[in-house]
Protein backbone atom coordinates (compact mmCIF):
# COMPACT_ATOMS: atom_id res chain seq x y z
CA UNK A 1 0.00 0.00 0.00
CA UNK A 2 2.79 2.39 0.87
CA UNK A 3 4.49 1.74 -2.47
CA UNK A 4 1.23 2.47 -4.32
CA UNK A 5 0.91 5.78 -2.52
CA UNK A 6 4.45 6.78 -3.53
CA UNK A 7 3.71 5.86 -7.13
CA UNK A 8 0.50 7.92 -7.09
CA UNK A 9 2.27 10.98 -5.69
CA UNK A 10 5.05 10.68 -8.24
CA UNK A 11 2.50 10.37 -11.04
CA UNK A 12 0.63 13.47 -9.93
CA UNK A 13 3.87 15.43 -9.72
CA UNK A 14 4.86 14.34 -13.21
CA UNK A 15 1.46 15.28 -14.62
CA UNK A 16 1.74 18.72 -13.01
CA UNK A 17 5.18 19.32 -14.45
CA UNK A 18 4.00 18.25 -17.90
CA UNK A 19 1.06 20.63 -17.61
CA UNK A 20 3.29 23.57 -16.72
CA UNK A 21 5.61 22.75 -19.61
CA UNK A 22 2.68 22.49 -21.99
CA UNK A 23 1.31 25.85 -20.89
CA UNK A 24 4.68 27.53 -21.27
CA UNK A 25 5.14 26.02 -24.72
CA UNK A 26 1.65 27.08 -25.68
CA UNK A 27 2.25 30.64 -24.56
CA UNK A 28 5.60 30.70 -26.35
CA UNK A 29 3.95 29.47 -29.55
CA UNK A 30 1.13 31.99 -29.13
CA UNK A 31 3.63 34.86 -28.88
CA UNK A 32 4.09 36.32 -32.33
CA UNK A 33 6.52 38.98 -33.48
CA UNK A 34 6.51 41.11 -36.60
CA UNK A 35 9.02 40.18 -39.26
CA UNK A 36 12.24 42.17 -39.50
CA UNK A 37 11.44 43.74 -42.86
CA UNK A 38 13.85 46.64 -42.53
CA UNK A 39 15.45 49.12 -40.16
CA UNK A 40 12.00 50.62 -39.45
CA UNK A 41 9.11 48.20 -38.79
CA UNK A 42 5.94 50.27 -38.37
CA UNK A 43 3.42 47.54 -37.51
CA UNK A 44 1.26 50.08 -35.60
CA UNK A 45 1.09 52.40 -38.63
CA UNK A 46 2.03 55.67 -36.90
CA UNK A 47 4.65 56.86 -39.40
CA UNK A 48 4.12 58.48 -42.77
CA UNK A 49 6.08 57.00 -45.69
CA UNK A 50 8.26 60.09 -46.02
CA UNK A 51 9.14 60.07 -42.33
CA UNK A 52 9.82 56.34 -42.44
CA UNK A 53 12.12 56.80 -45.44
CA UNK A 54 14.05 59.54 -43.66
CA UNK A 55 14.50 57.33 -40.60
CA UNK A 56 15.72 54.42 -42.72
CA UNK A 57 18.34 56.65 -44.35
CA UNK A 58 19.48 57.94 -40.98
CA UNK A 59 19.84 54.44 -39.51
CA UNK A 60 21.66 53.15 -42.59
CA UNK A 61 24.17 56.00 -42.32
CA UNK A 62 24.71 55.18 -38.64
CA UNK A 63 25.42 51.53 -39.40
CA UNK A 64 27.79 52.44 -42.24
CA UNK A 65 29.66 54.85 -39.98
CA UNK A 66 29.94 52.84 -36.75
CA UNK A 67 28.56 49.35 -37.48
CA UNK A 68 26.03 49.99 -34.68
CA UNK A 69 22.59 48.73 -35.66
CA UNK A 70 19.60 50.76 -34.51
CA UNK A 71 16.15 49.42 -35.38
CA UNK A 72 12.78 51.12 -34.77
CA UNK A 73 9.67 49.03 -34.18
CA UNK A 74 6.06 49.99 -33.48
CA UNK A 75 3.65 47.20 -32.54
CA UNK A 76 -0.11 47.00 -32.23
CA UNK A 77 0.03 45.12 -28.93
CA UNK A 78 2.46 43.76 -26.39
CA UNK A 79 0.29 40.61 -26.23
CA UNK A 80 0.01 40.68 -22.46
CA UNK A 81 3.75 41.02 -21.89
CA UNK A 82 5.51 43.84 -20.12
CA UNK A 83 7.32 46.20 -22.42
CA UNK A 84 10.63 45.06 -20.93
CA UNK A 85 9.98 41.37 -21.62
CA UNK A 86 8.55 41.98 -25.08
CA UNK A 87 11.44 44.21 -26.12
CA UNK A 88 14.01 41.69 -24.89
CA UNK A 89 12.31 38.82 -26.72
CA UNK A 90 11.96 40.86 -29.91
CA UNK A 91 15.61 41.93 -29.68
CA UNK A 92 16.67 38.29 -29.43
CA UNK A 93 14.24 37.21 -32.13
CA UNK A 94 15.68 39.72 -34.58
CA UNK A 95 19.27 39.14 -33.38
CA UNK A 96 20.15 42.82 -33.59
CA UNK A 97 23.75 43.99 -33.74
CA UNK A 98 26.91 42.68 -35.32
CA UNK A 99 28.04 39.19 -34.40
CA UNK A 100 30.73 39.35 -31.73
CA UNK A 101 30.06 43.05 -31.01
CA UNK A 102 26.49 42.85 -29.69
CA UNK A 103 26.06 46.48 -30.74
CA UNK A 104 22.35 46.53 -31.49
CA UNK A 105 19.72 48.97 -30.22
CA UNK A 106 15.94 48.61 -30.41
CA UNK A 107 13.51 51.50 -30.06
CA UNK A 108 10.15 49.86 -29.35
CA UNK A 109 6.85 51.80 -29.27
CA UNK A 110 3.48 50.29 -28.26
CA UNK A 111 0.88 53.05 -28.75
CA UNK A 112 -2.04 50.94 -27.51
CA UNK A 113 -0.45 50.24 -24.12
CA UNK A 114 1.26 53.67 -24.18
CA UNK A 115 4.68 52.10 -23.60
CA UNK A 116 8.11 52.80 -25.04
CA UNK A 117 11.39 51.00 -24.54
CA UNK A 118 15.02 51.44 -25.63
CA UNK A 119 16.67 48.00 -25.53
CA UNK A 120 20.47 48.11 -25.71
CA UNK A 121 22.87 45.30 -26.56
CA UNK A 122 25.65 44.36 -24.18
CA UNK A 123 28.29 45.88 -26.43
CA UNK A 124 26.79 49.38 -26.16
CA UNK A 125 25.78 49.45 -22.51
CA UNK A 126 28.87 51.51 -21.64
CA UNK A 127 27.95 54.13 -24.25
CA UNK A 128 24.16 54.20 -24.25
CA UNK A 129 23.73 53.62 -20.53
CA UNK A 130 20.44 52.94 -18.79
CA UNK A 131 20.47 56.45 -17.32
CA UNK A 132 20.98 58.05 -20.75
CA UNK A 133 18.25 55.92 -22.33
CA UNK A 134 15.90 56.89 -19.50
CA UNK A 135 16.76 60.56 -19.99
CA UNK A 136 16.05 60.39 -23.74
CA UNK A 137 12.69 58.74 -23.12
CA UNK A 138 11.70 61.15 -20.33
CA UNK A 139 12.82 64.41 -21.91
CA UNK A 140 12.49 63.77 -25.65
CA UNK A 141 10.10 60.97 -26.52
CA UNK A 142 7.38 60.93 -23.85
CA UNK A 143 6.51 64.67 -23.96
CA UNK A 144 5.82 64.39 -27.73
CA UNK A 145 3.88 61.16 -27.32
CA UNK A 146 1.67 62.84 -24.72
CA UNK A 147 0.85 65.45 -27.34
CA UNK A 148 -0.07 62.62 -29.78
CA UNK A 149 2.99 63.42 -31.88
CA UNK A 150 4.27 59.88 -32.30
CA UNK A 151 6.26 60.66 -35.42
CA UNK A 152 7.98 63.62 -33.76
CA UNK A 153 8.84 61.62 -30.65
CA UNK A 154 10.30 58.75 -32.68
CA UNK A 155 12.31 61.05 -34.97
CA UNK A 156 13.72 63.17 -32.15
CA UNK A 157 14.41 60.12 -29.99
CA UNK A 158 16.25 58.52 -32.90
CA UNK A 159 18.34 61.65 -33.37
CA UNK A 160 19.31 61.62 -29.70
CA UNK A 161 20.26 57.93 -29.77
CA UNK A 162 22.34 58.46 -32.90
CA UNK A 163 24.03 61.44 -31.27
CA UNK A 164 24.97 59.35 -28.25
CA UNK A 165 26.38 56.56 -30.42
CA UNK A 166 28.38 58.92 -32.64
CA UNK A 167 30.27 61.00 -30.11
CA UNK A 168 28.00 62.77 -27.61
CA UNK A 169 27.99 59.95 -25.08
CA UNK A 170 30.03 61.77 -22.40
CA UNK A 171 27.84 64.89 -22.58
CA UNK A 172 24.68 62.81 -22.32
CA UNK A 173 26.09 60.79 -19.44
CA UNK A 174 26.93 63.99 -17.54
CA UNK A 175 23.40 65.26 -18.11
CA UNK A 176 21.94 61.97 -16.96
CA UNK A 177 24.14 61.98 -13.85
CA UNK A 178 23.08 65.54 -13.02
CA UNK A 179 19.40 64.63 -13.36
CA UNK A 180 19.65 61.42 -11.34
CA UNK A 181 21.90 62.88 -8.62
CA UNK A 182 20.07 63.33 -5.30
CA UNK A 183 19.27 66.91 -4.62
CA UNK A 184 20.69 68.56 -1.54
CA UNK A 185 18.14 69.45 1.11
CA UNK A 186 16.90 72.97 0.91
CA UNK A 187 18.64 75.26 3.41
CA UNK A 188 16.66 76.56 6.33
CA UNK A 189 15.54 79.96 5.22
CA UNK A 190 14.64 82.99 7.28
CA UNK A 191 11.34 84.68 6.70
CA UNK A 192 11.14 84.06 2.96
CA UNK A 193 13.11 82.62 0.10
CA UNK A 194 16.65 83.76 1.04
CA UNK A 195 18.85 83.62 4.13
CA UNK A 196 19.13 86.86 6.13
CA UNK A 197 21.73 89.39 4.99
CA UNK A 198 23.52 92.09 6.97
CA UNK A 199 20.47 94.38 6.86
CA UNK A 200 18.36 91.69 8.54
CA UNK A 201 20.99 91.20 11.24
CA UNK A 202 21.10 94.99 11.78
CA UNK A 203 17.34 95.17 12.16
CA UNK A 204 17.39 92.24 14.58
CA UNK A 205 20.13 93.95 16.61
CA UNK A 206 18.23 97.25 16.77
CA UNK A 207 15.09 95.50 17.93
CA UNK A 208 17.14 93.69 20.55
CA UNK A 209 18.62 96.95 21.88
CA UNK A 210 15.20 98.60 21.87
CA UNK A 211 13.73 95.67 23.77
CA UNK A 212 16.55 95.88 26.33
CA UNK A 213 15.99 99.63 26.83
CA UNK A 214 12.26 99.10 27.28
CA UNK A 215 12.90 96.35 29.83
CA UNK A 216 15.34 98.55 31.79
CA UNK A 217 12.95 101.51 31.79
CA UNK A 218 10.04 99.40 32.94
CA UNK A 219 12.28 97.89 35.61
CA UNK A 220 13.27 101.31 36.93
CA UNK A 221 9.65 102.48 36.83
CA UNK A 222 8.64 99.37 38.76
CA UNK A 223 11.32 100.05 41.40
CA UNK A 224 10.20 103.68 41.77
CA UNK A 225 6.56 102.68 42.14
CA UNK A 226 7.46 99.91 44.59
CA UNK A 227 9.56 102.29 46.66
CA UNK A 228 6.79 104.88 46.75
CA UNK A 229 4.34 102.18 47.78
CA UNK A 230 6.61 100.98 50.60
CA UNK A 231 7.12 104.57 51.80
CA UNK A 232 3.36 105.07 51.74
CA UNK A 233 2.88 101.93 53.82
CA UNK A 234 5.50 103.09 56.30
CA UNK A 235 7.87 100.21 55.68
CA UNK A 236 10.49 102.69 54.54
CA UNK A 237 10.94 106.03 56.33
CA UNK A 238 9.75 109.09 54.49
CA UNK A 239 12.30 111.48 56.11
CA UNK A 240 15.26 112.83 54.22
CA UNK A 241 18.66 113.95 55.44
CA UNK A 242 20.09 117.40 54.91
CA UNK A 243 21.41 116.39 51.48
CA UNK A 244 17.90 115.38 50.29
CA UNK A 245 18.52 111.65 50.30
CA UNK A 246 16.07 109.22 51.82
CA UNK A 247 17.18 108.05 55.20
CA UNK A 248 16.48 104.42 54.30
CA UNK A 249 19.34 104.58 51.81
CA UNK A 250 21.72 104.64 54.76
CA UNK A 251 20.58 101.13 55.58
CA UNK A 252 21.84 99.93 52.21
CA UNK A 253 25.21 101.69 52.43
CA UNK A 254 26.12 102.54 56.03
CA UNK A 255 29.40 103.02 57.87
CA UNK A 256 30.83 100.29 60.10
CA UNK A 257 30.02 102.60 63.06
CA UNK A 258 26.70 104.17 62.15
CA UNK A 259 26.21 105.83 65.57
CA UNK A 260 29.44 107.79 65.32
CA UNK A 261 28.84 111.15 63.67
CA UNK A 262 31.59 113.15 61.90
CA UNK A 263 33.58 115.40 64.23
CA UNK A 264 33.35 119.13 63.89
CA UNK A 265 36.54 121.12 63.38
CA UNK A 266 36.99 122.23 67.03
CA UNK A 267 36.25 118.66 68.25
CA UNK A 268 38.86 117.31 65.83
CA UNK A 269 41.48 119.74 67.28
CA UNK A 270 40.67 118.80 70.82
CA UNK A 271 40.88 115.10 70.09
CA UNK A 272 44.27 115.54 68.49
CA UNK A 273 45.58 117.40 71.56
CA UNK A 274 44.40 114.69 73.93
CA UNK A 275 46.31 111.82 72.34
CA UNK A 276 48.96 110.17 74.55
CA UNK A 277 52.48 111.53 74.17
CA UNK A 278 54.02 108.12 73.59
CA UNK A 279 51.98 107.58 70.36
CA UNK A 280 54.48 109.66 68.36
CA UNK A 281 57.52 108.17 69.97
CA UNK A 282 56.48 104.54 69.40
CA UNK A 283 57.18 104.79 65.68
CA UNK A 284 60.75 105.91 66.27
CA UNK A 285 61.68 103.31 68.82
CA UNK A 286 62.01 100.64 66.08
CA UNK A 287 64.48 98.16 67.60
CA UNK A 288 61.95 95.28 67.44
CA UNK A 289 59.43 94.37 64.70
CA UNK A 290 55.99 93.93 66.36
CA UNK A 291 53.92 93.62 63.11
CA UNK A 292 51.14 91.03 63.11
CA UNK A 293 48.37 90.14 60.65
CA UNK A 294 44.79 91.21 60.89
CA UNK A 295 43.44 87.72 61.53
CA UNK A 296 41.83 87.16 58.16
CA UNK A 297 41.42 83.76 56.42
CA UNK A 298 42.95 82.62 53.10
CA UNK A 299 41.95 84.66 50.05
CA UNK A 300 39.62 83.51 47.32
CA UNK A 301 41.00 85.39 44.28
CA UNK A 302 44.13 85.04 42.19
CA UNK A 303 45.20 83.97 38.74
CA UNK A 304 46.42 80.77 37.03
CA UNK A 305 48.44 80.12 33.93
CA UNK A 306 49.31 77.18 31.69
CA UNK A 307 51.78 76.39 28.95
Give the pLDDT confidence score for residue 251 in this predicted structure. 52
297: pLDDT confidence band, cut at 50, 70 and 90?
very low
pLDDT averaged over every residue in the chain: 76
Residues 289-294 have a mean pLDDT of 40
Which comes out higher in pLDDT, residue 200 or 250? 200
Give the pLDDT confidence score for residue 175 in this predicted structure. 92
Give the pLDDT confidence score for residue 124 in this predicted structure. 95
DSSP, res 229: H
* SS3 call for 288: coil
pLDDT tens, 65-92? 999 999 999 999 999 999 999 999 999 9
DSSP 234-267: TSS---B-TTS-BTTHHHHS--SSTT-PPPPHHH
> Could you write out the three-class secondary structure of 195-226?
CCCHHHHHHHHHHHHHHHHHHHHHHHHHHHHH
Q: Is 50 exceeded by the pLDDT of residue 115?
A: yes
Rounded-to-integer distance, Cα 173 and Cα 154, Å: 21
Beta carbons within 8 Å of 78's beta carbon, 6+ residues apart: 86, 110, 112, 113, 115
Which comes out higher in pLDDT, residue 220 or 154? 154
Phi then psi dihedrals of residue 279, to 5 deg: -65, -35
Helices 49-66 and 150-163: crossing angle in degrees, nearest 10, is 10
* SS3 call for 100: coil
- Give me the residues paired with residue 73 across strands: 41, 108
Rounded-to-integer distance, Cα 150 and Cα 296, Å: 102
> How far is CA 48 from its chain centroid?
48
Residues 129-158 have a mean pLDDT of 96
Task: Choose the most confident range, by mean pLDDT, from 149-163, 188-202, 207-221, 262-276.
Answer: 149-163
Give the pLDDT confidence score for residue 103 in this predicted structure. 95
43: pLDDT confidence band, cut at 50, 70 and 90?
very high
Give the pLDDT confidence score for residue 211 in this predicted structure. 86
Rounded-to-integer distance, Cα 222 and Cα 217, Å: 8
- Cα–Cα distances (Å) from 299 to 186, 295, 302, 303, in that order, read 56, 12, 8, 12
Smallest Cα–Cα separation from 161: which of 107, 224, 216?
107
CA within 13 Å, CB half, 124: 28
Task: Choose the most confident range, by mean pLDDT, from 16-30, 53-67, 238-252.
Answer: 53-67
pLDDT tens, 229-255? 777 776 666 666 555 566 555 555 544
C-alpha angle 144-146-151 in degrees, rounded to nearest 5: 40
* SS3 call for 49: helix
Phi then psi dihedrals of residue 200, to 5 deg: -65, -40
Domains of the chain: 40-180 (3.10.310.50)
Percent of the chain with pLDDT over 90: 47
Amino acid sequence: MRALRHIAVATLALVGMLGVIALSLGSAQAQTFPALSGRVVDAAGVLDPSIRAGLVARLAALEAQSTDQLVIATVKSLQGETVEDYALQLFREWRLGQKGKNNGVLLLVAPTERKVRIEVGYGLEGTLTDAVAKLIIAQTIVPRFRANDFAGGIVQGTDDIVGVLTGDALAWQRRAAAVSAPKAPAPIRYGGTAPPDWADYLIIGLFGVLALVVIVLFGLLFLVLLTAFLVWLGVLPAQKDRHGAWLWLNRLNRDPEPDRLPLRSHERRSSQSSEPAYASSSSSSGSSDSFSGGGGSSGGGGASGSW
